[in-house]
Structure 1
Amino acid sequence: MTDQAQTPSPQSRSLAMNGFDWKRLSRHGGLIALALLLLINILITPNFLQLQTLFVNISQVATIAIVAVGMTLVIATAGIDLSVGAVMAVAGALAPLIFLSDFAQANPSLGLALSIAVPILVALVCGLFNGVLVAYLGVQPIIATLIFFISGRGIAQVLTNGNLQTFSHPGFSYIGTGKILGLPFQGWLVLVIAVVFWWVVNRTMFGRRILAVGGNEKAARLTGTPVRRVKIGVYVISAGLSGIAGLIVVAINSASDAARIGNLMELDAIAAAVVGGTLLMGGKAPIFGAILGAIIIQLVKYTLLANGVADEVALIAKAGIIVLAVYVQQGRKE
C-alpha cells in the first residue's frame, strides 16, 4: 500500500509532464527558437557573423519591433490593429511632401522638424479614429482597424498621386542610417521605446488598467477603470509608433512609396507579439517578449532569403509561427 501511495499513476505523471513541458515552453520557447536560428545561420548562412549582416538585420527588425510594441498593448486589451501598415504609409507619404514644400525649402530647419513631427501627429489622429470606433461606437477591433487598413493606403497614394517620392536630408536620413557608438540609431530607438513601455505597463496606473481591461473588461468597469479611455490610448500609441516606423523606412530608402511602405507589417507585428508571449485574449503585455518575437520573425525571413528560399515561403513560415505560438498558448491554459 505504501508503494502504491507513493507511485503516481500514469495519468497523473502524464499531466505533470504536460504541465511542466508547457510551462517551460511558454517561458523559454522564444529564447530556444532564437538560439536555434542563430546556430542554423552560423552553420549554413554565408557571412552571417559579419558586422554588416548584423547592421542589416538591426535596420530591418527595428520597424517590426517598434510596431510590435504598439500591437502588444492593443492585444493586451483583447483588441487587434490591422491598420499599422497603412498608418506607416500615410506617415511616409507626408514626410517628403512637407519637406519638399516651398515653406520647408525656405526654412530648412523648421521644415525638417515639421517633416518628422506632422506625420507622427497625423498617425496619432489615425489611432484616435480607430480608438473611437472601438471604444465609443462599439465596432469590433478587427473591423474598425480594417477600415483604415483599406482606406489609409488609399489616402497615402492619393497624397502622392501614386508616385515614388525621393528626397534626402542628412538630418532626416540619420533616423535610418545614423549610428551611435557604432550601432544603428534604430537599434537604440527600439531599446528606448521598449524600456519606456515596459515601465508604462509595469509601473504605471495606465499599464495596470491595460491589463485589467484585457483580463476582464466587465470587472474592470465595475472597479471604475475608464475602459474607453484605455482602449483609445492603446490605439493612439500603436498608431504613433507605426508613424515612427514609417519615417524610419523613408529615411533608410531616401524615398517614399505609398504602395510598399508597411506592406504586410500587420502580419509581422501580430506574429512578433504572439511569439513574444502576448495572449490573444488579452491581459498580458510582455514588451521585451515582443522585441524577442520581432527578432525571431526577422531572422526567419533573413535565413530563408539568404539561403535562396522564395519570399512567399517566408510568408508561409511566419503564418506557421503564429499557429505554433497560439498552440503553445492554448496548451499553457490547459
Structure 2
Amino acid sequence: MTDRSGVSLLLARYGTALALVVLLAFNFAVTPNFATWQTLNVNLTQVSTIVIVAVGMTLVIATGGIDLSVGSLMAISGALAPMIFLGNLVGIGGVPVAVAVAMFVAVAATTLLGAFNGWLIARYCIQPIVATLVLYIAGRGIAQVMTNGNLQVFKLAEFQWIGLGRPFGIPAQVILMLCIVTLAAWMLARTNFGRQLLAIGGNERAARLSGIATGRIKIAVYAISGALAGLAGLVVIAINSASDANLVGMGMELDAIAAVAVGGTLLSGGRATIIGTLLGALVIQLVRYTLLANGVPDAAALVCKAAIIIGAVWLQERGRTA
C-alpha cells in the first residue's frame, strides 16, 4: 500500500471525526458564546430527530436499499397521535392512558407501513427507491386527509415530555437519541441480525445461498426505519406543541441520507457505522450553526451541506480503491 492510498483509507475511515474536531476547534476560537450550555443544548436538540431517523436509514442503506418515506411517516405519526389524545378516542384511564395509547398506535402504524415498504421490496423485487416513493407521495397525503389539513394545537405535559422534558437538565430527545444509537450500534456489531443485514448489502445472492432469510431481514429493517420515523414525528410535534401534516418531517429523508453518507456508511450497502451516522449528523448541524453564527446566509449553508456530501462520497470511493 502506498502512502497516498494509506492516507485515503484513513480519511475514509476517520475523516468525519476529524472534520468534527476541526469544526469544534474553530468555533471555540472564533464563534462568540459557543462554549455555553445553551449552545450545546440548541445543537443537540436540533440534531436529535435527524439522528433518530438516520439510524433507521443506516440499517436500510446497509442492506443496499433506501427509504424515501421517512418524512411522510413522521407526518402520519404526528397527525395520528393528537387525534387520539385530543379526540377523546380513549375513554378510560384518563389522560396518561390516552397519551400512552396515542404514542403506541402512532409508532405501531408507521412500523407497519415501514414493513409494507419492505414487503414490496422483498416479495415483488421492486427497487427500494420506487417502493418507498409510494409512501413518500401518498403518506403525506394520508396525514393531510386525516387532519383535513388543519393544524392540531395542544398543550399536554404528559405527552410533551418526549420533546420538552429535561431530566437531569438534559433534553429528553437527546437521551432518547443516545439510547437508540447505542442499541443500534450494539445490534449491528454484536448480533446475527446485524451481520446478516450487512451480508445482504454486500452480496444478496450469496447471502441467500448461505441460508439467510433475506426477505424477512429486509422487512424487519424497513419496519425499524418506519418505527424510528414515527418516534421522531412524535418528538417534533411535542417540541412545537402542534402538529402540521404539511410540514412535519418535510425534507427529513434528505437530511437522514446526508448524515449516513457523511458518516461513512457505504451507500451501495455492505458496510455501515451507526456512530459514524451520529458524527455525520453532528458535522452537518455544526457547519450550518457555524455559518449562521458568523453571519453567513442559510442558503450558503445548504451549498456547504451539498459540498460536504460530495466530499464524503468521494472519500468513500478513494477508501474503497485504496
Scaled to the shorter chain, the TM-score interval is: over 0.9
Which residue in the other structure is 1:300 paired with?
Answer: 287
Task: Measure, in 2, the Cα distance between the counterparts of 1:73 and 1:188.
Answer: 21
SS at 2:124's partner residue?
coil
Q: Give runs of aligned pairs for residues 96-107 of structure 1, distance below 5 A.
A: 96-104=82-90, 107=94
Residues 1:246 and 2:233 are matched in the alignment: yes
Counting only pairs closer than 5 Å after superposition, residues 1-334 of structure 1 correspond to structure 2 as 16-104=2-90, 107-334=94-321
Alpha-carbon distance in structure 2 between the residues aligned to 1:314 and 1:118: 37
Determine helix, strand or coil for the equivalent of 2:89: helix
Q: 1:306 and 1:115, CA in 2 relative to 1: closer, same or farther beyond 3 A? A: farther
| Distance across 1 between alignment mates of 2:34 and 2:159 | 29
SS at match of 2:126: coil
Runs of 4+, deviation exceeding 6 Å: none
Residues 143-178 of structure 1 show CA distances to partners (whole Å, capped at 9, x for unaligned) of 111111111111111111112111121121110111
Distance change (3 Å), C-alpha of 1:90 and 1:219: same
Question: What one-letter code is carried by the residue in structure 2 that aligns with 1:83?
Answer: S
Give the letter for the 2:182 counterpart. V
1:7 maps to which residue? none
**Match of 1:181, SS?**
helix
Which stretch shifts more, 318-327 or 15-24?
A: 15-24
Pairwise CA distance, 1:318? 1.7
Q: Does structure 1 conserve the Cα–Cα contact (< 8 Å) formed by 2:12 and 2:318?
A: no
Counterpart secondary structure, 2:114 = helix
Give the aligned residue type for 1:30. Answer: T
Letter in 2 for 1:209: Q
CA distance in 1, matches of 2:296, 2:138: 33
- Residues 116-154 of structure 1, C-alpha deviations (whole Å, 9 max, x = no match): 111100110110111111111111011111111111111
Number of matched pairs: 320
Return the TM-score normalized by structure 1: 0.92
User: d(CA) in 1 for partners of 2:23 and 2:142?
Assistant: 39
Distance 2:251 2:54 in 1: 13
8 A Cα contact 1:177 1:252, kept in partner: yes
Deviations 1:46-72 (A, max 9, x none): 322221111111111100111111000
Shift of 1:113: 0.5
5+ unaligned residues in a row in structure 1: which ranges? 1-14
Structure with max Cα Rg: 1
The more displaced of 63-72 and 15-24 is 15-24
Q: 1:102 is paired with a residue of what secondary structure?
A: coil
Matches of 1:259 and 1:111, distance apart in 2: 25
TM-score normalized by the length of structure 2: 0.96
Q: How much has 1:105 moved relative to structure 2?
A: 6.8
Alignment RMSD: 1.4
Unpaired runs of at least 5, structure 2: none
Q: Is the 8 A contact 1:99 1:105 kept in 2?
A: no
- The AA in structure 2 aligned to 1:177 is L
Cα deviation, residue 26, structure 1: 1.4
**What is the deviation of 1:316?**
2.2
